[in-house]
Amino acid sequence: MYGLVNKAVEDLVVSRYGEDMWARIQEQAGVDAVGFVSMEAYPDEVTYKLVGAASEVLGRPPAALLEAFGEHWILYTARQGYGELMAMFGASMREFLGNLDNMHTRVGLSFPQLRPPSFVVRDAGPRTLELEYHSRREGLAPMVVGLLKGLARGFSEEVAVEHVHGRDRDGFDLFRVELQAAA
Ligand code: HEM
């Protein structure tokens, strides 16, 4: 994945646990400590190794870290100058989720080797959505839960997210998203 992703993992770890912990995680992962370049594509293996090593060093399950990472990604990309781009694709959570594929297509203009996920959103009630997550990568469903929570915060909404089924059924992950206005 692009260096931007690995740098966001680094930013999450450093902001919560400090530089020394990041150095230990990099060492445990066997990943070169020189630093990542945001616009350069790295093998997916690098990201998976970093998450695996972070899980071992911090003693937290990979799923918990991926969820925290998803939430952090929304803040991190906004700080890296992608906030305006995100704002162009929807003024509400519902609208934005419907535009996620268009947004990643737009992102792909700057990141030509992007292999983005794909999402299908359906209304399943007045404040309930069903979201299909299609990906060529394994194991990232917990990240989607965090992304949805981070997005909701950005729209001053609150969400309850249920992972209805994994990709072993139908080839995609399905989420049920309940939207509430934030108190
Ligand atoms: C402007 C904001 C965003 C940017 C710049 C961005 C960019 C990226 C990049 C660079 C990757 C790595 C893929 C690769 O290197 O091939 C990625 C992956 C991903 N993005 Fe986005 N993204 C943004 C917002 C979002 C949002 C809001 C969601 C919400 C659901 C999302 C969902 C994902 C997921 C789940 C992946 C993991 C890859 C996979 O499943 O195969 N992204 N994105």
Provide the pLDDT for residue 183: 66
Q: Domain of 73?
A: 67-181
Instruction: Say which CATH number the domain at 91 has.
Output: 3.90.1520.10
CB of 79 shorter than 6 A to ligand 1:
no
Do 97 and 136 share a domain, yes or no? yes
Task: Give the whole-angstrom CA distance, residue 24 versus residue 10.
Answer: 12
Do 34 and 85 share a domain, yes or no? no
Provide the pLDDT for residue 59: 98
Cβ atoms < 10 Å from Cβ of 136: 9
Provide the pLDDT for residue 180: 87
* Residue whose pair of structure tokens reads 């080797």 in the numeric block: 113
Extract the tokens encoding 85: 């781009």
Do 49 and 126 share a domain, yes or no? no
Atom of ligand 1 at shortest range from CA of 137: 41
Task: Give the whole-angstrom CA distance, residue 12 versus residue 16.
Answer: 6
Provide the pLDDT for residue 32: 76
Mutate to test the pocket of ligand 1, among 45, 73, 155, 175 (most ligand atoms within 8 A of CB): 73
What separation in Å is there between the alpha carbon of 116 and the centre of ligand 1?
A: 6
What separation in Å is there between the alpha carbon of 50 and the centre of ligand 1?
A: 17
CB of 136 shorter than 6 A to ligand 1:
yes
Region class of 91: left (phi > 0), else alpha (psi between -120 and 50), else beta: alpha
Do 118 and 73 share a domain, yes or no? yes
Atom of ligand 1 at shortest range from CA of 74: 27
What separation in Å is there between the alpha carbon of 167 and the centre of ligand 1?
A: 18
- What residues pair up with 41 in beta bridges, in sequence order? 2
State how many domains the chain has: 2
Mutate to test the pocket of ligand 1, among 84, 104, 110, 120 (most ligand atoms within 8 A of CB): 104
Region class of 86: left (phi > 0), else alpha (psi between -120 and 50), else beta: alpha
Mean pLDDT per 10-residue interval, the chain, length 183 residues: 98 97 96 88 97 98 98 98 96 96 98 98 96 98 98 94 97 96 69
